[in-house]
Structure 1
Amino acid sequence: MPETIGKGANTALRGGQLRISAVPSGIDLTVLCLRENGKVGSDADFVFYNQPVSPDSAVRLTAGEITSDLAAVTDDTHRMVVAASVDTATFGAIALSVRITEAGAGVYDLPITGSTAETTVLLAEVYRRAGGWKLRNIGQGYATGLAGLATDFGITVDDEPAPAPAIPMTPGTSTRPPAQRSHPTPPAPGQHVTAGAAQYPAAPAASVGGPAGFADAPGHPPARTGSADPGHPQSSPPGVNFGKGVITLGKDAGPVLLEKAPLVRLRVAWASGTDYEAYALVVLSDGKIVHVATFPAAGIPASPQYGDLVRHLGDRGRGDVQRGGGLTEEIIEVCLAPEIVAVVPVAYSAINNGTGSFRKYRVTLSIESGADSVSIPADQAKKSSWIFTCVPGIVYNRPEGVLIERLELYSRRFSEHRPAVALQPDGRVEVRMDKGPVNQFKADRT
């Protein structure tokens, strides 16, 4: 029969293998392997879903459970603190129970009570005492969340997400904060658009047309490149300058307009040695948002394509991953039929890739339309390994061409939420970080 260990109480362990589980499922468990000074030796001593094995391999996170072989724990680890966290609720609303089983020894139930608005709770600690190991029920909520917990135990999370580039104010430009900004639409006829140009007034969204297929898909015609609305000509308005060749949108650069090809490719690339994921939020002219991704989020199934118009090709061009050489990329192909108003590509770093910032792995979004391309590097990213999501830019489908704007927006630390996007009445698209559904899997199941 399990032994109940009340809050603050402790019991001796035999020093064997432990299995730690929590109910309900969906609770994220983490372990901090601490030195004698109460701090981690390095960021690698933080075991969580994105870094599931401790440096000595004695602590592992598998299928939502923690296992620990106490006999294999290195001498410099004096204490292991087990915590639980949630993204979309608080522990005051969750009936949390914890069970710790030691192979060939005892089973211990730890009641965790008294939580209110906390999103992170310290469950237990396993610590050395008089040459052996002991277990204590901590049962204490952590007011500052997982990021605060990590910081207090010595994890490097002090880098804030980089702010969005400053936007010159002209008529039609939103004054909202960067993370909730509505983004621009195409230029009025006669206005020039080049890298670094000011923003321009909004124009109506494209009207819905019939389906169009991939140019290289059997039995499908090339995608139409103009609006079905006769008020929006399919050819370029007089005076609009298209971007040509290879263009890089750096910090503070304005939008660029490319001539529209039947097939547009969105490439999210990074230095090999890790494994990012890319997905796209497709904005339709009726306001619907379609998620094109190879893995699910809460209430959103994995869907690698949207009809015959958008398809995710997965990893391409992988270099020498073991040696960290070359580049890896994920490609999303888009036929910009009139029903697609915009596409928001997203780079995501929390699937099976350990830790490492967008800056470290030189993440870049490239948009290719025919022979022309626009590149948006994540060159304003901070060094933090705990920022998991980046929206490098937005791609608008306009009668004049493919309009590309640099955003470089980042999620808050430790957030697993996708961005939320919304089509505004004036045809602009609003991007709000951390407001979408939560990514469901912490392992690459593609």
Structure 2
Amino acid sequence: MSETIGKGANTALRGGRLRITASPAGIDLTALCLRENGKVGSDDDFVFYNQPVSPDSAVRLVDGALAIDLSVVAAGTHRLVVAASVDTGSFGAIPLAVRVTEEGGGSFELPITGLTSETTVQLAEVYRRGGGWKLRNIGQGYATGLAGLATDFGITVDDPGTPAAAVPPTPSPAPPVPAASGHPSAPGDTALPTAGYPPPPGPPGYPPPGGLPPAAAEYPPPTSYSPAAGSGGIAPAGAPAPAASAPGVNFSKGAVTLTKGAPAVLLEKAPMVRLRVAWASGTDYEAYALVVLSSGEVVHVATFPAAGIPANPQFRDLVRHLGDRGRGDVRRGGGQTEEIIEVRPAPEIVAVVPVAYSAINNGTGSFHKYRVTLSIENGADTVTIPADQAKKSSWIFTCVPGIVYNRPDGVLVERLELYSRRFSEHRPAVTLQPDGRVQVRMDKGPVNQFKVDRT
């Protein structure tokens, strides 16, 4: 029978093996192995998704659960702090359930209450006391996220930016709900996502959703310069190079695939985000982007025109269409062809809606046949949205795989996978709503004027 341990309460443990789980799905568990001074001995003492085993092998992350063998914990480890984090949403709206199961003993339920906008929370600590071990329910949230928690306990984080203590808390996204997907059942179907929106635009003169623009030069290319004593922040010739900082913990999650019904993913913001639309070679698709600005204006970035919309492969220095690129044996119908759109997430950009397009002159072939995918590359992270719900129709020309929000707390990627009506050459129409959401309406935009079959 389970025993409930309230916040701040503790109980004695047998000193053997523990299994700690948290639900619902999508929650990342982590553990910090702390010395008597309350800090880690090194970055290796942090167990998380990119570093799943502690140096003494006593703490392991297995299938989303933490397995702890107290009998082999290193003598220098005084206590273990267990935490949970989410990529999207906040714990104030997630029905968090935490259970600790002791081998050969009972199980313990840890109610975690009083959370609001936190995306990371200390769940419990397992600590030495009088030659044995005890378990305590902590239930303390962190508004600064997993990196802030790690930094507080002595972990060095890769490119931490502003110290966690100086970062003002920002509202977290709303709890994740399944994104709209599938084919429109009738003309003019609308996608109005409901998970994790940017804050609504304020009155004139108020900072836009992305925050205030920097006071100095506008968004330089994502080249890393080393500030030194020379002018302009670039080391003068002959100046000694600054010492390289020691590598820290990397919170990158690598490759993530958003399948049908998957919640949105929030990524740490990189200086450059690449939207890559790819397909099996043998036909020709086009990609373009609808860029939603904080003013409500929508800019079309495309290499071909639409009715009333000229071809425009670049929006200032913030969004650029790089054109067709090939991978593999494209000439013989193998490999992949792709188009890339680069985005610098400036404050005035609320969201980018990438669109994949195939008109009649491309020949027959469906999104399903040519395995069309959208990949969002944000630094070391890649989120892929496959068009795996596509019908086998050669006469559906337009797909909106997803939407990319530029938020103050990161880049939010949400799956949509919406399709146009059969034979429709219309672009989608997108509208910025007063609450900061972006509405996508298929077949409601201008007619493409480049590859339409006029026979």
Q: TM-score, normalised by structure 1?
A: 0.50
